[in-house]
Chains A and B, each alone.
Chain A
Amino acid sequence: MVNYPTWKKVLVALICFIGLAYAVPNFVDEDLLSGVPDGLPNQQVNLGLDLRGGSHLLIEVEVQKVIDEYLESLVDTARAELREARIRYRSLGKSANNMGVNIPQEADQDRALELLRQLDLEARVSQSGDRLTIELPEPIMAARRAAAVQQSIEIIRRRIDETGVREPTIQQQGQNRIILQMPGVEDPQRVKDLIGKTANLSFQMVDVDNPLQEALAGRVPPGSEVLQMAPNARGPGQPDFMLVRKRVDVSGQNLVDSQPSFDGRTNQPVVTFRFDTAGARRFGEVSTNNVGRPFAIVLDDEIISAPVIQEPILGGTGQISGRFSVQETSDLALLLRAGALPAPISFLEERTVGPGMGADAVAAGEFASVVGLVAVLIFMAIAYGRFGLYADIALLMNVILILGALSVLQATLTLPGIAGIVLTIGMAVDANVLIFERIREEARAGRTPISAIDAGYSRAFTTIIDANVTTLIAAILLYAFGSGPVRGFAVTLSIGIITSMFTAIMLTRLFVVTWLRSKRPDSLPV
């Protein structure tokens, strides 16, 4: 024990040096760090949103809607095709994950089966009695749901980028959730408004052949639907609802650009848009055939504008006018540019911390840490004299190592995380207390200083391991099941337990041995 091998000394010194090197950037001005090349320590501790201020949102993508919509479109196509093929059918409809139809006449069944097969080659068609069912195999449904989540992340990212929020983090969590973190955003309301909209845009003709009153009374003609008018789309004398053809002539997918602008004549804020080639051709055809009739611009099942086609629109550009404010037109243009979400989303959780609060928390946390640290340092020095000072150096080193480890790992430091560090400061000396108390005891039992120290370290060692492993177990489970700031606590606690075992056992031992070899004392100063 008195022989502390050189390689061990080098190792201890090396670990301390590396820890120090990675901790240093935290005490340096940020501008200075940008000059430090990568590979060298140039990262500061990554502060959580609760400390730097910002907004955390947990979003759920309603992926079942993707499947629902898919099945709905299957039903629509199947109906049209069956009619065209003059096949008699009953009970055409969808359930949660399949669609089915009854074909009463046996002669038609084979034709119907073939027809359904052609609807989607990936789907599985089966027959039992006169009931034909078509469904997607689970792996394909899962792939579509996953794709919907991926696409949602992409669209949300595009929308947020347009708002000018800096450094947002957008991550998938679990199967159908998205975590959105926006440092520095103290009022996420506008962002929530923007990303909460599905922004499904479509151009549909207004059904002028059937009376709206009938439809409102519940007799909606097939192929049409009743849609609500957006409040600021409704001109004077216009109704709250309109009867609109279900058929989507051109959709938002055909848009290539969209900008907020002002109408040349009325000077009202409007949104201008441009179709891609296919969209422009389609829109040209439809408008040519329907001059004098109104069409509806529908956003998320709400009519935002219902102008009458004055003349064929062949250029592939157009504008949406209504009683919009400038803000509304710029938001709408943004949404149209970024594209529609594949499925609706909802907000499950929000945690927003203002910048003042975060700064206060950092200041209070730092102050409490420093005071706690100094108090423990003083106490240890009083309690164990020279050895206490050794333990103090180890404790300071421990704090440095924690900071270094946090910086290297880029783990997120949260307010509970700071609490974890303070707690570690209190508990880190435990290993040294165990060793020193044991040394005292052994010395009292009549051992020589060297023998007492030797016995103290070796006997306390297993105890230290056992005691720390149990705490580490708790910390790891906390990390696994905790969320948000609490995880930060688990991180600092775990790092602190590991570094404290290193500093308390290896580092103080180095000091004690060095002192022992140079002084060869007759009695121990503990």
Chain B
Amino acid sequence: MKALNLVPHDVDISFISKRVLFFAFSAFLIIASIGMVLTKGLNFGIDFKGGILIEVRTEGPADIGAMRDQLSALGLGEVSLQEFGLPTDVLIRIQRQDGDGDAQNRAVELVQKTMGTEVEYRRTEFVGPKVSQELLQDGILAVGLAMAAILVYIWFRFEWQFGVGAIIALMHDIIVTIGVFALLGLEFNLSTVAAVLTIAGYSINDTVVVFDRVREKLRKYKTMDLPELLNFAINRTLSRTLMTSVTTLIALASLFFLGGEVIRDFSFAMIFGVVIGTYSSICVAVPILLYLGLDERARGNLDGTNEDGPQSQADRP
């Protein structure tokens, strides 16, 4: 009957004592990510940059070189072609044409006329400059608002120190995920924003679970040393943290390998986000509480809201 445990129930890893190491590592990741974005830049997709994307399938294996010659001769500016999943599938990206949406439209027409009807047009998309700008603004706004709303919620449910800790961990995850996109040159588009927001949700979810335990222990063990208490809370939730990460990763891996080419980058972003989110909940969000003055005063406040003592919260029906 004894079932699987990912970690022994009496696990006691000293996370808090290694916090300087974690902070150094995270600081490195953040600086490297920002550096990557600044120097290498993000590979914006047409959603945010405007432009044209056409996916075609040819009869036999595609002759990408010939296609490139054919399309480059049209004078549409930068044209990039890449094999997409199968040797017969080619993804064509064409830079945004000067002018409005209609200019993109005319270019699409020209390309389709040039390539003729021998190829199957699997996808044709263009985004004009007006819309791409709006999409970018909306994307930034959505991420910003999501972070603000989460901060307010955590603040409301916990002490402010927890809110700050959660947001720092959250920004850490978002920045590093974006950094990886810059490093690997993956396309950054609307789906990526969706992935980033989901990562935000997941990371917070993870952090909240550990925080919840910290809060509970704060009420229960009033005299326990804070570093020791934080470590205790991490270890007690470690099994759950890893369990949930594993089930989520199982599902995402299935999506990554079997879900098709179009959502592969999206799945990758989320897989990376789950890993970094799990790491940050344990190694960033909790240790940082030590530096935010989560002191005896905070404990007193927490306890003060709960005059019946520590048990009543837990034993609530």
A111-119, A122-130, A232-240, A352-360: which lies at the B interface? A352-360
Q: Find chain A residues with CB under 8 A from B213 CB.
A: 463
Residue A346 CB within 8 A of the other chain: yes
Contact of A430 among B100, B105, B236, B247 (CB under 8 A): B247
Please give the distance in Å from A382's CB to the nearest CB on chain B.
Answer: 5
Contact A441 B254 (CB under 8 A): no
Interface mask (A462-481 → B, CB under 8 Å = 1, otherwise 0)? 11001111111111011011
Q: Find chain A residues with CB under 8 A from B126 CB.
A: 349-350
Please give the distance in Å from B249's CB to the nearest CB on chain A.
Answer: 7
Contact A353 B201 (CB under 8 A): no
Contact of A441 among B6, B9, B154 (CB under 8 A): B9
Residue B118 CB within 8 A of the other chain: no
Contact A481 B142 (CB under 8 A): yes
* Known pairs A357-B123, A383-B3; A481 contacts B141 (CB<8 A): yes
Q: Find chain A residues with CB under 8 A from B108 CB.
A: 350
**Contacts of B151-166 to chain A: CB distance below 8 A:** 153-154, 157
Contact B124 A419 (CB under 8 A): no
Complex CA gap A1/B31 in Å reads 50
Residue A351 CB within 8 A of the other chain: yes
Residue A348 CB within 8 A of the other chain: yes
Residue B149 CB within 8 A of the other chain: yes
Q: Find chain B residues with CB under 8 A from A493 CB.
A: 198
Contact A368 B205 (CB under 8 A): no
B200 (CB) vs chain A CBs: closest residue: A474
Residue A214 CB within 8 A of the other chain: no
Q: Find chain A residues with CB under 8 A from B145 CB.
A: 477, 481
**What is the interface of chain B, defined by CB distance below 8 A to chain A?**
1, 3-6, 9, 55, 57, 100-102, 104-105, 108-109, 112, 120-128, 130-131, 135, 138-139, 141-142, 145-146, 149-150, 153-154, 157, 190-191, 193-194, 197-198, 200-202, 204-206, 208-209, 212-213, 216, 236-237, 239-240, 243-244, 246-255, 257-260, 262-263, 266-267, 270, 314-317
Residue A220 CB within 8 A of the other chain: no
Contact B139 A481 (CB under 8 A): yes
Q: Find chain A residues with CB under 8 A from B121 CB.
A: 186-187, 352, 354
Q: Find chain B residues with CB under 8 A from A489 CB.
A: 191, 194, 198
A248-256, A299-307, A373-381, A506-514: which lies at the B interface? A373-381
Complex CA gap A192/B139 in Å reads 28
Complex CA gap A486/B130 in Å reads 19
Q: Name 21 interchain pairs, CB-CB below 8 A, sorted by A.
A: A189-B112, A347-B105, A349-B131, A350-B105, A354-B122, A367-B258, A372-B253, A373-B251, A375-B251, A379-B250, A419-B255, A427-B205, A434-B209, A434-B244, A437-B240, A469-B153, A471-B204, A475-B198, A481-B139, A489-B194, A490-B194
Contact B205 A473 (CB under 8 A): no
Contact B314 A477 (CB under 8 A): no
Complex CA gap A416/B198 in Å reads 12
Q: Find chain B residues with CB under 8 A from A444 CB.
A: 9
Contact A470 B122 (CB under 8 A): no
**Contacts of A57-78 to chain B: CB distance below 8 A:** 58, 60
Interface mask (A394-428 → B, CB under 8 Å = 1, otherwise 0)? 00000000000000000000011011001101110
Contact B146 A477 (CB under 8 A): yes
Complex CA gap A462/B4 in Å reads 26
Contact of B267 among A60, A419, A440, A473 (CB under 8 A): A419
Q: Find chain B residues with CB under 8 A from A373 CB.
A: 251
A364 (CB) vs chain B CBs: closest residue: B260
B250 (CB) vs chain A CBs: closest residue: A375
Complex CA gap A427/B277 in Å reads 14
Complex CA gap A416/B270 in Å reads 12
Q: Find chain A residues with CB under 8 A from B249 CB.
A: 426
* Known pairs A360-B260, A471-B205, A483-B135; A353 contacts B123 (CB<8 A): yes
Residue A316 CB within 8 A of the other chain: no
* Known pairs A426-B250, A486-B190; A353 contacts B122 (CB<8 A): yes
Contact A349 B101 (CB under 8 A): yes
Q: Find chain B residues with CB under 8 A from A382 CB.
A: 3-4
Residue A458 CB within 8 A of the other chain: yes
Contact B212 A463 (CB under 8 A): yes
Question: Can you name 12 extra interface pairs (CB under 8 A) apart from A373-B251, A478-B142, A481-B139?
Answer: A58-B101, A354-B120, A372-B251, A379-B250, A383-B5, A415-B262, A426-B248, A433-B247, A437-B239, A444-B9, A467-B206, A470-B204
Q: Find chain B residues with CB under 8 A from A480 CB.
A: 142
Which 6 pairs, one residue from A and one from B, show the smallest C-beta to C-beta distance? A426-B251, A372-B254, A471-B201, A426-B248, A364-B260, A481-B142
Contact A422 B150 (CB under 8 A): no
Residue A262 CB within 8 A of the other chain: no
Contact A422 B3 (CB under 8 A): no
**Contacts of A305-354 to chain B: CB distance below 8 A:** 346-354
Contact of B1 among A347, A458, A468, A525 (CB under 8 A): A525
Contact B105 A473 (CB under 8 A): no
Q: Find chain A residues with CB under 8 A from B240 CB.
A: 433-434, 437
Contact A423 B252 (CB under 8 A): yes
Complex CA gap A484/B46 in Å reads 14
